[in-house]
Structure 1
Amino acid sequence: MGPDPRTAPEELTSGDAPATKRCSRCGESKPLTDFLRRTGRRSGKASRRGACRQCRKLQKADSSAIPIEPPMAERVPEEDDALPLPKKRTKKPLPEPPPRPEGPEASVLRPTREGIIRMRGRTDKGRRWYQETDLETAVTLVLEHAAVVVNRHTIRRIYTNKKFRQYILMRDNYTCHFCGEYGDTIDHLLPRAKGGHTTPVNCVCACHLCNQSKADRSLDDFVSDFDD
């Protein structure tokens, strides 16, 4: 006759849970008291963690023996850790503006009875757009070769956004106006926040670093900060 199934084996407690457990690290069978209890909703009474307490202590001691790098402020810079020098930025002559488009002079512009100047143009997809602006802005756009006079109350923008970007990058030969390295962004010499406009006279090619460093500062401020 086989063993009575109602008889609990030696490794089972009264609650039908194993009295010993094999450690997942050292492989030895040890009492359940040598293992930490599991936590969580699915953990039972006899649910224990895989590694025994002794193996966990050894692992903790080994990890504490690993040297930890000191904070950056306390590190002594080595020869290989030397930071690259900042790019040299100088004030260069401004690029030549494009030839003035044919059309009436900006002096003929007059605001309408509502006190506005009509401005129209085309999107990158060729759709027409229309908006209103003030006399001062309209005159600046015409003088800086970004628009032409249609009549005394209306101007027309020459470039779409895409064509304007291509024109500036190709005019400056994809060279940053500030540091002379490769550039693929457009920067306003006089920031728009200070009254600058997106015109061929006020925009130059810039690298990403110079564009971000300059931010909303004027050209003189940007160059003088670097010289200091």
Structure 2
Amino acid sequence: MSVPLWLWIATVGGLLALIALDLVIVDRKPHEVTTGEAARWVVFYIAVAIAFGVGVWVFAGHDFGVQFFTGYITEYSLSVDNLFIFMIIMTSFKVPAIHQHRVLLIGILLALAMRSVFIAVGAALIAQFVWVFFLFGAVLVWTAVSMVRNKDEEEEYEENALTRWVRKLFPVTEEWHGHKSFVKKDGKRWITPMFLVIVAIGSADLLFAVDSIPAIFGITQEAF
């Protein structure tokens, strides 16, 4: 599949524009997202993905179109499980309802950033070493076995090493300060629970990518 530079730029630029629009709407008036509003956003983003997939199908051919939609459905399915973990983290940090949309959106941005790096590295490795496929397969098998073993355990959030390290490195305020991540108290810089929950979600998403990226490479090796 030949993808010119301008198409890469247009695709990434369009994605950033969508997220910027979402952030502008959130920043304009932080509020608790209703079920109806959430449903409309879901329908909108799914429609954008379908339009993109149709474009791939039309301009790149049937095979790449099928690969895109198969990959999209697979990653969407995996993201549902990730979302539940995000909700557990936000409940643990007592994120106010009016800020949950913003926290999730930042989590999505972190996910996109990390997956972009992993996809680029994965594509380069696959191009050079065939055995990487076996490594990816082993990761998926290990993930599946871990899920079966832990299926009866209750989901409880325990802060990981990175989150605990941040707590030790910076003083954390007890109260929330809107959506601010840093505040000054008594001439000293403090981090807020907003910053800490972003660290928690970002580090959790790093682990999610471990099974997500091998899964998508099992479907297509086309980086675009």
What's the TM-score bracket when you normalise by the shorter of the two chains?
under 0.3
Higher helix share: 2
- Structure number with greater Rg is 1
Which structure would you say has the larger RCO, counting Cα contacts within 8 Å and 6 or more residues apart?
A: 2
* TM-score normalised by L of structure 1: 0.19
* TM-score normalised by L of structure 2: 0.19
